[in-house]
Amino acid sequence: MRIARGISVTNTSKPISTAAAFDADAAAFFTAASITDTTQKSAVNTLVLSLKSANIWTKMKALYPVVGGVASAHAVNLKQPGTYNLSFATGWTHASTGMTPNGATYADTFLVPSTALSLNNTHLSFYSRTNVAANTHQMGSSQLTGEAQYLTLITRYVANTAYYAINVSQSNIGSTLVSNSDSRGFFIGSRTASNVVSGFRNSTEQLNGTVTSTTIPNTKVFLGAINAFGSAGAYSTNECAFSSIGDGLTDTDATNFYNAVQTYQTTLGRQV
Amino acid sequence: MEGRIVTNQKAQELQGQFIDSDTFLNFVQDINDVYFLFLSEQDEADVANTPYAYLLDLPLSPFVPKPSPPLP
């Protein structure tokens, strides 16, 4: 077929691949979580590439992108499918916007901070789509060693405060609270040194603290509640659209992390 | 908030039993230490296909949670 002077096109009968090339880690997640929707695949793939580009990916131990709308997909750890996959206690509702606990349930991450993380190099994150003031924890772990030792995120306590309690004792937990009257958004609590703990809501650093680390808990991290010395308590009703557990994040990391996650949520049409 | 009341013996017998590959039965004590089972609509559909389907016949009762220990 001649289409222009001096240019010809020959039909070689070779098939032309239209399948998008995905990052290998993203592709492994799609298989494990049975994700087939093209928008969801694109969102996750972009998220993975962004985290890798920002050198955040390697700091993650567990990444729950909460995509697919069903428990079997929401359970899968994007960082390493099959490791730290979630198990849900009855009482969760799963939807395309996220997963919502009923205020008397939790999900088990199987991640034990004292073995998977380091005392002065830890973060938790939680993307909440619910605005509620309640005496609840959105995720966390604790241990009783003389006094309670906490690794926990509280997005909006009854007194309109958020807690970014990353490896702190009960007597020091007050040093990790900040004023906060909206529990919607992406919350990150991070510790990068024995005297450096920070807390972010979206792109705003709400806590820039120096409270000393004490103990990293030896109980599994729960989502939708805190693991209170071995059993769930302080149950949440906040819809979760993303969560992670891993090494500590710098301020730059936290900003890049928020940008990547918010882009991800926007692509899925569920950003807050 | 409502859930299904079960005996202490039944709660201890069934605690942690999986109804599918990702979800397990969980019993929570109320303020009076009575065990409750909570099932979302999705859970109810899943339980209906298990040997625990009889739990769906239990009537719903009001649940009063235990207070969470206060933080500073």
pLDDT tens digits along A142-157: 999 989 999 999 999 9
Residue A7 pLDDT > 50: no
pLDDT tens digits, B4-19: 999 999 999 999 999 9
Asked whether the beta carbons of residue A90 and residue B43 sit closer than 8 angstroms, the reply is yes
Band of the pLDDT at A18, cuts 50, 70, 90? very low
Cβ neighbours of residue B62 closer than 8 Å, sequence gap 6 or more: B1, B2
Exposed, middle or buried, A81 (CB in 10 Å: 0-12/13-18/19+)?
middle
- In this prediction, residues A111-137 reach a mean pLDDT of 97
Residue A179 pLDDT > 80: yes
Q: Which residue has the higher pLDDT, A42 or B72?
A: A42
> Which helix (DSSP H) or strand (DSSP E) does residue A125 occupy?
strand A122-128
Asked whether the beta carbons of residue B43 and residue A91 sit closer than 8 angstroms, the reply is yes
For the entire predicted model, the pTM comes to 0.93
- In this prediction, residues B32-58 reach a mean pLDDT of 96
Residues in A touching B26 (Cβ below 8 Å): 89-91, 105-106
Chain A residue with Cα closest to B39: A91
Give ipTM to 2 decimals: 0.96
Question: Alpha carbon of A124 to those of A155, A166, A190, B23, B64: distances in Å?
Answer: 12, 8, 7, 23, 30
pLDDT at position B72 is: 64
Residue A16 pLDDT > 80: no
Asked whether the beta carbons of residue A93 and residue B41 sit closer than 8 angstroms, the reply is yes
